[in-house]
Structures are given as C-alpha cells and as structure tokens.
Homo-oligomer: A and B are copies of this chain.
Amino acid sequence: MKMKNKQNLIAAALVVVLAFTPTVAHAADSLPSWNDGKAKQSIIDFVAKVTTPGSPDFVPVPERIAVFDNDGTLWCEQPIPVQLYFALDRVKALAPQHPEWKDKEPFASLLKGDLKTALAGGDHALIELVMATHTGMTTVEFEQIVKDWIATAKHPKTGKLFTAMTYQPMLEVLAYLRANGFKNFIVSGGGIEFMRPWMEQVYGIPPEQVVGSSIKTKYEMRDGKPVLVRLPEINFIDDKTGKPVGINSHIGRQPIAAFGNSDGDQQMLEWTQAGGARLMMLVHHDDAEREFAYGAKSHIGTFSDALMAEAKQKGWIVINMKNDWKKVFPFEQ
C-alpha cells in the first residue's frame, strides 16, 4: 500500500501473477510427497470441484474453510504427545521450587524418570501435570516459556527438533489449499496457547486460526500494567464432541474439508460432512519403519475399529502413511 507510483504497483502485480502461475499451471505437482493413488487424487479432485467457477460444487473463497487436527495429523504424537514432553521438562525446571513434589504423584515418579508409573494415574494425573506446569503465570510469560522450549526441544527417537517432526505430505496439503483460496484452521485437543507461539512459522497458520483446549484466564492490573493470568481451571476441552463446538465458537462456519487421525476427530469429520460436497480424511499410522505403527489398540491417537467402520461407511478417505506418502518427514532424503 505504500508504493509511490503506478509503475511500482504494476511491477508488484506482475510479481503476484508470476507467483501464482506455477500453482495454477501445475496443480498436481503441489503434492510431490504423495504417491499416486486414491488419497492424493481425492484431494486434487476435491479442490478442482470446489474452486471451478460454474461447478455445481463451487464454493466461494470466504467459505473455503479447512480444519486440521494437529497431534498425529500434522506432526508426530509418538511415543507420547509433544505437549507432554513440554510438561515433563517444566516439572524438572520447577522442581527446585516444589520440594513437596518428591513425595507427591505424578511428580515423584516423573522426577525419578519413571514415566509409566507417573502416567498410570490417567486423566487425573495428566490434569495435575498441566495445572502445575501451565498455569499461574501471565499469558505473555507462558508464550515466552513455550517459545524458548520449542526452539531447542528434540524428539527422543530421531534427535530432531519437534518442529521438524511434521509430516511433509501434510505441509504440502496446507500450502496447496492455501494457494487455492482456503483458510486453514487448527482444531486440536492440544492447548491453544501451547500451539499458537510456533504454528505461524511451522504451518503458516496465524494465532487467530488456532482452536484448541484452554484453561481460564483472568484480567488484572500488575504494577499498573494489564495482564491475563492463567488460572488452574479448565475452560474448554477441544476433543471429540468438543471439536464441532470449538469450530462453531471460533470459526462460526462449517468447514468444507477436515483432516484428522483418531477417534478424537470423529465428530469433526461428521460435522464437516453435513454440509454438502466435502472432503474428510484420516491419517492412518501404519508405518513402523519411517514413523510409528499404531491405531485401534493405542492409548495415544486411538484409531478404533468403530472409526474405521464409520470412515468406510461414510466415504471418508483413509490415508495409509506407508503407501500414500513418498516421504514422511521434511528432513528425509
């Protein structure tokens, strides 16, 4: 908006033209890490259908909303979800200020390095962990804690940064949809303020397009400056039936494409499908060699037999990581 004359504007316009030309001309090449097959083709066909003016399934740009689960759909959630590693590292960092944790579960086992016993307490133990490590500070302080941690934290198996443990084929889907006028939203069970600080850089998704679970916050003045304090009280769980609720609350439109990988995404896909010509996809983790193989019997990212049956019955596309993806992670050769 700040250019000084029409010549500059025309030059800028030509840059825009040239930038878009490859996308328009070679749409199929926008998904190079996908093997040819039903999954890849269903994405290309869907995008063509909803973006072709005059098509009976044409969708105007403002309504091209796509929603993506995060853990297990856009990045690796095994052997445990990334946010849990964050919580564990926070417990270690905060332990000196909490001598009582030595005798209190789940902290005691965690500090001894016994993850299994620590998490045996199930949801209750998890919530205790989150409340102890994710609350009490201001939102600005928490954002900085997350940024500092994610800048160096590494996956225990690959030794790569967690932010490098994203799925290359899904990064291509994000870019392909965006180039075709879609607005991509994250709709994840993960903490909304754990995800926002790094998603713009990693996925090109800005904070206002991130929907997640949250704790309550409280506005107050500290030393004459306004802050939002993170309270140890759950505000919203963005999982299962919570996902359509979160979508309605944050987006206010029904998505036209939804991508998930587990039982937690079932209702999001159902809700997306209710609208008409829609695309519903589930990542199935069947690649023990390049990533992990898990599904119906896994506690993390459960992909139950019931979900598989619903997918089959309703025409949702199951992405078989092993066959559909040439490459899983961006760092692979």
**What chain B residues lie within 8 Å of A153 (beta carbons)?**
none
What mask results when residues 173 to 187 of chain A are scored 1 for a CB within 8 Å of chain B, else 0? 000000111010100
Given the known inter-chain contacts A6-B17, A17-B9, please indicate yes or no for A62 contacting B200, CB distance below 8 A: yes
Number of A interface residues in the complex (CB < 8 A): 57
CA of A271 to CA of B222, assembled, Å: 12
CA of A52 to CA of B3, assembled, Å: 10
What mask results when residues 24 to 54 of chain A are scored 1 for a CB within 8 Å of chain B, else 0? 1000000000000000000000000001110
CA of A242 to CA of B217, assembled, Å: 9
CA of A53 to CA of B4, assembled, Å: 12
**What chain B residues lie within 8 Å of A92 (beta carbons)?**
none
* Count of this chain's copies in the oligomeric assembly: 2
Judged by a CB distance under 8 angstroms, whether A84 is at the interface is: no
**What chain B residues lie within 8 Å of A20 (beta carbons)?**
1, 9
CA of A180 to CA of B14, assembled, Å: 20
Judged by a CB distance under 8 angstroms, whether A244 is at the interface is: yes
**What chain B residues lie within 8 Å of A1 (beta carbons)?**
20, 23-24, 51, 179-181
A206 contacts B16, CB within 8 Å?
no
Given the known inter-chain contacts A2-B24, A180-B1, please indicate yes or no for A249 contacting B214, CB distance below 8 A: yes
**What chain B residues lie within 8 Å of A248 (beta carbons)?**
139, 217, 228
Judged by a CB distance under 8 angstroms, whether A102 is at the interface is: no
**What chain B residues lie within 8 Å of A2 (beta carbons)?**
24, 51-53
Judged by a CB distance under 8 angstroms, whether A267 is at the interface is: yes
**What chain B residues lie within 8 Å of A51 (beta carbons)?**
1-2
Q: Which of A74-82, A108-116, A250-258, A281-289 contacts B (4 or more CB under 8 A)?
A: A250-258
Judged by a CB distance under 8 angstroms, whether A95 is at the interface is: no
Judged by a CB distance under 8 angstroms, whether A274 is at the interface is: yes
23 contacts between A and B (CB under 8 A): A1-B23, A1-B179, A1-B181, A2-B51, A6-B17, A6-B21, A9-B17, A9-B24, A10-B13, A13-B13, A16-B16, A65-B208, A183-B208, A196-B252, A208-B209, A208-B251, A210-B252, A217-B249, A218-B241, A218-B245, A226-B270, A228-B245, A250-B250
